[in-house]
């Protein structure tokens, strides 16, 4: 079968391309925005993809067209599909019907950490010889691909709350029908499709309704928004996890999974289950948020039959996900990171974790408020506080953003209208021992590669 994917370079749709290829289909696709790491994965797969959405790409006619949620009415290719009556469906529907049916689905939902937790679960199951399939909204460094079919029964999927397609406005995750469901956290995001936090809570409760009575919910007990969702009804077993906070070092009494840092930066910590020691993790990841992610992953793996002590041992070799505080360049004591953070909470936790890790060394954050919610200004009040762990923040104000960022300018915050100006500002400021963090959920006009070239840094990947 010839499957053509409109919007193929998104992380989810790129994963669909991988799975379809493994199933023996011929896969082609198209997109407007093409940048690593997904473009690199598609090239490695041998998938032919073109730039743009000229209807000519639909000749000869594919057997099936999968349409990504970034495409809407008015797109030339979409209009051609509809006018010609060509067969089409959404990515989540294709996944549910062709891959997830008759599998034990392990889904990870939440505003933050979905990619990391899903990657952890997949790695634990892989190392425990469960040979899982997975589809993750990023590229786990341990696998170097975002998706694979694996063997029955287990399939790990990142469960995104964003809408499915222009013709299906339900959240993607309602298609997946998990037996194991991680609810990692819940905050307001995606202001382009959700008006209020309650809109997102409603979608999360729709997801909970699909979990069978003999299924398991693994829920962050520290998140009151998730507790509000559960109050609307739950028909499955619940296990709470709670990593506590940097202030209290505690966890709520309902949590059966808890963590205790051994090192200040949480590169070493203990996990307890039911108040009893369940294992110890020593790894390269930093931050209490990653310790919390590990609790969720170990709990999920236990539902798949992996003992906690074994799961913890598997995590010692976990090497995170590309673009999650990934070291991309280093020279003369200067280290450059690429990070996907695009929500104030993610920015705050990432920079705070790095601060705990590097101590008094200087942190320079370069931030592109690229998400639709950021561009609409819905997080502008929370942004300054999220940057507090950085010594210097360089904010990029791209064309078309709906709010003025200049009021954020302070002693440690500067705003720039061009990426070139940002690079030159860094060139004037950079000194040995600095840690430079590029934070964006997009290509950022090639800033990462341009910065490495400007400072003659050989690209590296350190985990």
What confidence score (pLDDT) does residue 148 get? 96
Q: How does strand 163-165 pair with strand 168-171?
A: antiparallel
> Where would I find the H helices in 145-275?
197-209, 224-230
What is the rounded CA–CA span in Å between residue 53 and residue 7? Answer: 9
For residue range 157-199, list pLDDT tens digits in order: 999 998 999 999 999 999 999 999 999 999 877 667 778 899 9
Cβ neighbours for 231, distance < 8 A, ≥ 6 positions apart? none
What confidence score (pLDDT) does residue 250 get? 45
DSSP state of 62: P
The three-class DSSP label of residue 353 is: helix
C-alpha closest to that of 424 among 416, 435, 412: 416
- Could you tell me the pTM of the whole model? 0.85
What confidence score (pLDDT) does residue 136 get? 94
For residue range 59-104, list pLDDT tens digits in order: 999 999 999 999 999 999 999 999 999 999 999 999 999 999 989 9
For residue range 278-324, list pLDDT tens digits in order: 999 999 998 898 999 999 999 999 999 999 999 999 999 998 887 88
Asked if 205 and 198 touch (Cβ cutoff 8 Å), the reply is no
C-alpha closest to that of 158 among 311, 296, 313, 331: 296
Residue ranges in the chain modelled with pLDDT below 50: 246-251, 462-463
Q: What share of the chain is helix, strand, coil (3-state, %, to 5)?
A: 35, 25, 40
What is the rounded CA–CA span in Å between residue 455 and residue 434? Answer: 13
Cis peptide, bond prior to residue 220, ω within 30 of zero: no
What confidence score (pLDDT) does residue 248 get? 42
Find residue 45's DSSP bridge partners.
none
Domains in the chain with CATH codes: 2-91 (3.40.50.720), 102-315 (3.40.1190.10), 326-462 (3.90.190.20)
Asked if 187 and 345 touch (Cβ cutoff 8 Å), the reply is yes
What confidence score (pLDDT) does residue 383 get? 79
DSSP 72-135: -TT-HHHHHHHHHT--EEEHHHHHIIIIITTSEEEEEESSSSHHHHHHHHHHHHHHTT---EEE
Place of tokens 């997009």: 442
């Amino acid at each position: 079968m010839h499957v053509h994917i409109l919007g193929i370079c998104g992380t989810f749709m790129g994963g669909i391309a991988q799975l379809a290829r493994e199933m023996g289909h011929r896969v082609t696709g198209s997109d407007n925005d093409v940048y690593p790491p997904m473009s690199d994965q598609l090239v490695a797969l041998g998938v032919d993809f073109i730039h743009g959405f000229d209807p000519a790409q639909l000749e000869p006619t594919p057997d099936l067209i999968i349409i990504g949620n970034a495409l809407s009415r008015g797109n030339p290719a979409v209009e051609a599909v509809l006018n010609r009556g060509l067969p089409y469906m959404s990515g989540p529907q294709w996944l549910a019907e062709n891959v997830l049916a008759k599998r034990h689905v392990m889904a990870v939902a939440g505003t933050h950490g979905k990619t990391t937790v899903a990657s952890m679960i997949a790695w634990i199951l892989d190392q425990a010889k469960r040979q899982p399939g997975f589809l993750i909204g990023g590229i786990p460094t341990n696998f170097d691909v975002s998706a694979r079919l694996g063997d029955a029964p287990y399939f790990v999927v990142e469960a995104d709350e964003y809408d499915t397609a222009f013709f299906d406005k339900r959240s993607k995750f309602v298609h997946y029908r998990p037996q194991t469901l991680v609810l990692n956290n819940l905050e307001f995001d995606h202001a382009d499709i959700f008006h209020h936090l309650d809109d997102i809570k409603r979608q999360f409760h729709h997801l909970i309704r699909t979990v069978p009575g003999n299924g398991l919910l693994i829920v962050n007990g520290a998140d009151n928004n998730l507790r509000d969702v559960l109050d609307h009804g739950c028909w499955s077993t619940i296990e709470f996890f709670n990593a506590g906070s940097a202030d209290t070092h505690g966890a709520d009494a309902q949590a059966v999974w808890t963590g205790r840092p051994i090192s200040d930066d949480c590169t070493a910590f203990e996990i307890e289950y039911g108040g009893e020691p369940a294992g110890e993790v020593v790894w390269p990841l930093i931050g209490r948020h990653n310790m919390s992610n590990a609790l969720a992953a170990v709990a999920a793996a236990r539902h798949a039959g992996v003992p906690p002590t074994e799961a913890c041992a598997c995590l010692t070799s976990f090497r995170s996900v590309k673009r999650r505080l990934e070291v991309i360049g280093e020279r003369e004591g200067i280290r450059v990171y690429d990070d996907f953070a695009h929500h104030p909470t993610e920015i705050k936790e990432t920079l705070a974790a790095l601060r705990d890790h590097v101590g008094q060394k200087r942190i320079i954050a370069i931030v592109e408020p690229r998400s639709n919610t950021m561009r609409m200004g819905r997080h502008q009040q929370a942004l300054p506080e999220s940057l507090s762990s950085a010594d210097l923040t360089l904010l990029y104000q791209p064309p078309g953003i709906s709010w003025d960022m200049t009021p954020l300018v302070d002693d440690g915050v500067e705003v720039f209208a061009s990426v070139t100006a940002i690079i030159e500002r860094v060139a004037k400021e950079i000194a040995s021992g600095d840690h430079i963090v590029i934070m964006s959920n997009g290509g950022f006009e090639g800033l990462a590669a341009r910065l490495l070239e400007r400072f003659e840094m050989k690209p590296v990947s350190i985990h």
